[in-house]
Amino acid sequence: AQKVTQAQTEISVVEKEDVTLDCVYETRDTTYYLFWYKQPPSGELVFLIRRNSFDEQNEISGRYSWNFQKSTSSFNFTITASQVVDSAVYFCALPYSGAGSYQLTFGKGTKLSVIP
């Protein structure tokens, strides 16, 4: 069965610190995609990134970077020089296994608080 584990329930950092959010997954699929979402206090989930299992290169987008390691089944998210606007709950997600599946399995989320 698909499983996504975000072991860090809550993290607090001081502004400008770097922070890494961990995501570990289990899947029986040989090819798959992984996703990260951000949920600010206002409530909407915002799609951040999609990566496929063929591509283990790190992805960088501004202050955000993602490290995908298939050997350890991890897809970690790093925010460099954190800002107060980064305060949110972050979710990692993995598609259900099997043909015709469009559902996502979400981790329980990591709440990040960036303190000014």
Partner 1 sequence: DVKVTQSSRYLVKRTGEKVFLECVQDMDHENMFWYRQDPGLGLRLIYFSYDVKMKEKGDIPEGYSVSREKKERFSLILESASTNQTSMYLCASSLSTGRGNQPQHFGDGTRLSIL
Subset of residues 94 to 113 that bind partner 1, contact rule: CB under 8 A: 95-96, 98-104, 106-109
Closest residue by Cα to residue 51 from 63, 38, 69: 69
C-alpha distance from residue 106 to each of 3, 37, 52, 72, 90 (Å):
8, 10, 16, 18, 10
Beta bridge partners of 25: 4
Q: Which of these segments, 16-24, 56-64, 70-78, 89-97, binds partner 1 (CB under 8 A)? A: 89-97
Cα–Cα dist 42/102, whole Å: 26
| Cβ at position 41, least distance to partner 1 in Å | 11
Nearer residue to partner 1 within complex by CB, 107 or 114: 107
Q: Does 54 bind partner 1 (CB under 8 A)?
A: no
Residues binding partner 1 (CB under 8 A): 32-33, 35, 37, 42-47, 50, 52, 91, 95-96, 98-104, 106-109
